[in-house]
Amino acid sequence: MTSKEHNLPAGGHRKHAGLKRPAIGNFGRNEWAIVGAPCVYIKSLADKVISALSSTYKCAYADTSHNDEVVLAPGKLASGAFLEYTDMVNHQQFNRLDALKMVPFRQQFNEADLVLVNGNHQQAKAQVVIIYENKRASLQKRLEQLTNVGLILLAENAEGVFDFIQESLPNFKDIPLYRLDETEKIVSFFRSKLEQARPVLNGLVLAGGKSERMGFDKGAVNWFGKEQRYYMADILKPMCNEVFISCREDQRQQIPVAYNVLTDTFTGLGPYGAILSAFRSQPDSAWLVIACDLPLLDLDTIQHLISQRDVSKIATAFKSPYDEFPEPLITIWEPKSYPMLLAFLSQGYSCPRKVLINSDIKLLGAQNPDALTNVNTPDELEKVKRTLHQKIANA
């Protein structure tokens, strides 16, 4: 599949929207092709790395079948079905007759934090090169695939890095060089890369609701000396890379220039649309989403959520003290949740809580359950006012 980018004159017609695309390669965001050695060496190395990292990160492996003979389609595919699903009890199996196109293929790897690829058969945006004497000629033919070499490994029969490798890599002297049996160093390399790839955390204060039950803008309520939307944004600033106030387009002019504004580009979807709009603007960032109607939300609760963040999950959220379900509007949504949110929307769901319930998330108990109390009606507002006044009096 190929695509062309046409240079447009200033003010010229653009056929497609200028969307920011996630930094995804052939499989996922963090993918490494292992090249330069027999497949048995590549499989063994991948197994060691995955075994060491899978308790913390979601790892995937991509390869191609080594059958030398033509293999007939299995099961019902041979009868004409295009897809066959089998519950294998300890794992799930899908057999598909036709080749997956680019987008659905990548979706299969969406939750993976690390994808290791047999570079003898598949390519990836970063590479690990094994120096194996008997594969010298084969590796030399693959030089054009070595676009982003991050690690070089010497097999037991290698005396040193091939000259053509050294000459073809401008940054050769900066690339780590280990022996293939130095497993701990290799695992540490990948662990470091995964930590470096940890998505930055942005803050998103949801203030775009119409507050119909309240009768006036909930985000404008002054609980602590300033409007709640600004109070929450100021709390988040020291803990986030950037903080934005999410609002409708008609609210934009009401927000002071001192605050970043992110207007809804997915309209009519409430908080769901606000979260999608945030990911549309920065698809490789994680988003700490907080509603503006949580007046009892304190710094300790937010810091606890951030400290317990699990980037290998779709999201990190608190369990509601009222119904045991996840609280979607005080949640860290990881970049891998973006395609999940879009997929749920395509099936007619626009409830962020439903996405959390049906996805792999980290669910926390709230140390202070009262902090998750939201205010939607005048009666709830008066009740929280009394709670705050009592806290002040006790202090």
- pLDDT of 210 strictly over 60: no
Higher pLDDT, 81 or 10: 81
Indicate if the pLDDT at residue 216 is higher than 70: no
Q: Is the pLDDT confidence value at 46 over 80?
A: yes
Which pLDDT score, from 0 to 100, does residue 19 have? Answer: 84
Q: Which pLDDT does position 393 carry in this prediction?
A: 59
- The 3-state DSSP class for residue 293 equals coil
What is the predicted pLDDT for the residue at 5?
41
The pLDDT value given to residue 72: 73
Q: What is the mean pLDDT of residues 64-89?
A: 82
Which structural domains are found in the chain, ordered by start? 31-63+76-196 (3.40.50.300), 201-394 (3.90.550.10)
| pTM metric for this prediction | 0.89
pLDDT at 184 over 60: yes
Quote the pLDDT of residue 66: 72
- Over 60: is that where the pLDDT of 70 sits? no
User: Among 334, 360, 20, 318, which Cα is nearest to 201's?
Assistant: 334
Is the pLDDT confidence value at 4 over 50?
no
- 179 and 153 in contact (C-beta within 8 Å)? yes
Question: What is the DSSP code string of 26-81?
Answer: SS-SSEEEEESS-HHHHHHHHHHHHHHHTTTS-EEEE-----SSPPPPPGGGGGT-
| Average pLDDT estimate for 205-228 | 68
Number of H helices, E strands in the chain: 11, 15
The answer to which of 15-29, 139-153, 232-246, 309-323 has the lowest mean pLDDT is 15-29
Residue 321 confidence class, pLDDT cut points 50, 70, 90: confident
* pLDDT at position 248: 87
Helix (H) or strand (E) holding 288: strand 286-291
Amino acid at 314: I
Average model confidence (pLDDT) for the chain?
89
pLDDT in tens, 257-290: 999 999 999 999 999 999 999 999 999 999 999 9
Q: What is the mean pLDDT of residues 190-200?
A: 97
325-369 pLDDT, tens digit per residue, is 999 999 999 999 999 999 999 999 999 999 999 999 999 998 888
For the ranges 21-35, 85-99, 325-339, the lowest mean pLDDT is seen at 85-99
User: Measured in whole angstroms, how far is the alpha carbon of residue 18 from the centre of its chain?
Assistant: 21
Q: Is the pLDDT of residue 9 over 50?
A: no
pLDDT for the residue numbered 218: 65
**Mean pLDDT calculated for residue range 217-228:** 72
Tokens for 96, please give them: 């598909």
Could you tell me the two tokens for 106? 């990548």
Residues whose CB falls within 8 Å of the CB of residue 375, separated by 6 or more in sequence, listed in order: 214, 218, 221, 293, 294, 295, 381, 384
pLDDT-derived band at 68, boundaries 50, 70, 90: low
- 359 DSSP assignment: S
Cα(208)–Cα(280) distance, integer angstroms: 17
Is residue 180 within 8 Å of 156, Cβ to Cβ? Answer: yes
> Judging by beta carbons within 10 Å of its beta carbon (0-12, 13-18, 19+), is residue 39 exposed, middle or buried?
middle
